[in-house]
Chains A and B, each alone.
Chain A
Amino acid sequence: MEFSEVDKKIVRALQSDFPICSEPYRKIAEDIGISQEELLNRLNEMKEEGILRKMGAVLRHVEVGFKANALVVWVVPPEQMDEVAAKMCAHSEVTHCYDRNTAPDWPYNFYTMIHMDSKESCIEFARELSEETGITEYELQFTEKEWKKTSMQYFAE
C-alpha cells in the first residue's frame, strides 16, 4: 500500500486534537500547506475508500455516566456467530463486538465490550444477552486498572 507524502501529512495532522473553531479544516490545510478544498476532497475520498472511518469524538465514558464496563468473552459455535453478533450489536450498550482466535486454555472465541452504569447492571445485562442468544458459556472481566489508553500515531516515523 502506497501513500503519498501529502496523504501521510493529512493522516498525521488528523491524529492530533481536531480544532474546535469555526473553520477547523482551513487551519489544518494551512499547517499541511495545501488548500482547504484539496484537504476536504481528499478526506471525502479517504472516507469512500474506507481509510478514514469518521472524524468523531472519544468521550470519557465514566464522566458521561457509564461508570462500569466489562469485557464479556463468550464461546459461540462458529456457524451461529453472525446471528449472535447481529443480536448483540443491536444493543447500544454493546460498544465493541468481534471474534478472536482461541488457545488451549482459552476457549472464548467471541468478545463484547459492554458499558453500563454499575457493575451489577453489567452482570445482569450479560445474563440477558445470554438468554436472548442462547449462548451460556461466558465470563465477565472487569477492568481493575487502566495502565494505558492512547490513540495510535500512524506514520509516526
Chain B
Amino acid sequence: MELTAFDKQLLNVLQCGVQFVPKPYEAMAQQLGVSEDRVISRLQELKKSGFIRKVGAFFNSDKLGYSGTLVAAKIEPEQVAAVAARINEYPEITHNYQRTCGYVLWFTAITHCDERRKQILAEIRQLPGVISLLDLYSQKKYKIDVQFKLK
C-alpha cells in the first residue's frame, strides 16, 4: 500500500497531537476539510496496515518522577545476542539497538530512582561478555518531539 497525498496530510496532523476535546477526530477532519468518518476510517486502515505503530500519550518522564538515561555497552562479539536478550527483560529498558561502533549495544533505561538504575546497570555489568558500560545522561534536551514531515 502506498501513502496518498491525503494520508500524508493526515499523518502530519496526527503527529502534531490529538486535541483534548470530546470529538478530537472531528476537529482534525475540520482542519483537513473532510468528514470525521473519513478521518477515523482512514486512520484505522493506516494503523492496520502498519504505518502507525501507536496512537498514545507522550509523557515527560521527569515530571512523573522518573529519570532516563542512555547506556552504551561494549560486549564480546559472540555474546552480543545473549546480552541483548537479558537486557530486553527489564521493563525499564524501553529501547535497545545494536549499532556500528565499538560500543555495540545502546539502550535507554527509565527508572523511578537512582538506586534502581544503578542496580540494573550493576546486574548488566556482571553478565558474561560485558566488557564495559557508559552511563550517558542528558541535561539539555534540545529536541525530543519526533515528528516526521511527510511530503
Identify whether the interface residues of B are mostly helix, strand, loop, or mixed.
mixed
Give the distance in Å from the alpha carbon of A54 to the alpha carbon of B24 in the complex: 13
The 8 Å CB contact of B17, one of A20, A24, A56, A154, is A56
List chain B residues, Cβ under 8 A from A64. Answer: 3, 11, 51, 148, 150
A36 touches B22 (CB 8 A): yes
A58 touches B142 (CB 8 A): no
Give the distance in Å from the alpha carbon of A58 to the alpha carbon of B94 in the complex: 14
Give the distance in Å from the alpha carbon of A151 to the alpha carbon of B94 in the complex: 6
B99 touches A22 (CB 8 A): no
A98 touches B145 (CB 8 A): no
List chain A residues, Cβ under 8 A from B59. Answer: 11, 14, 51-53, 152, 154
Give the distance in Å from the alpha carbon of A36 to the alpha carbon of B98 in the complex: 43
A38 to chain B, nearest CB (A): 12
The 8 Å CB contact of B54, one of A71, A151, A153, is A151
Closest to A155 in B: B64
A98 touches B58 (CB 8 A): no
Chain B interface residue count, CB cutoff 8 Å, equals 74
Give the distance in Å from the alpha carbon of A146 to the alpha carbon of B66 in the complex: 24
Question: Do A55 and B56 contact each other (CB < 8 Å), given the known contacts A18-B18, A64-B150, A154-B66?
Answer: yes
Binary contact readout B72-100 vs A (1 if CB under 8 angstroms, 0 otherwise): 10000000000011011001111111111
Binary contact readout B2-14 vs A (1 if CB under 8 angstroms, 0 otherwise): 0100000001001
A44 touches B20 (CB 8 A): yes
A148 touches B142 (CB 8 A): no
B8 to chain A, nearest CB (A): 8
Is residue A50 within 8 Å, beta carbon to beta carbon, of the partner chain? yes
Is residue A5 within 8 Å, beta carbon to beta carbon, of the partner chain? no
List chain B residues, Cβ under 8 A from A94. Answer: 143
B26 touches A22 (CB 8 A): yes
Question: Do A40 and B143 contact each other (CB < 8 Å), given the known contacts A61-B148, A99-B138?
Answer: no
Binary contact readout A18-36 vs B (1 if CB under 8 angstroms, 0 otherwise): 1011111110000000001
The 8 Å CB contact of A59, one of B15, B21, B58, B84, is B15
List chain A residues, Cβ under 8 A from B15. Answer: 56-57, 59
A143 touches B144 (CB 8 A): no
List 6 tightest A-B contacts by C-beta distance, closest first. A14-B57, A54-B17, A148-B96, A145-B98, A85-B142, A97-B143
Interface residues of B (CB under 8 A from A): 3, 11, 14-18, 20-26, 36, 40, 43-44, 47, 50-61, 63-66, 70, 72, 84-85, 87-88, 91-103, 105-107, 110, 134, 136-150
Known: A11-B57, A148-B107. 15 other contacts (CB 8 A): A1-B65, A23-B22, A57-B55, A60-B51, A64-B148, A85-B143, A86-B142, A89-B143, A95-B143, A106-B136, A144-B100, A145-B97, A149-B96, A150-B94, A153-B91
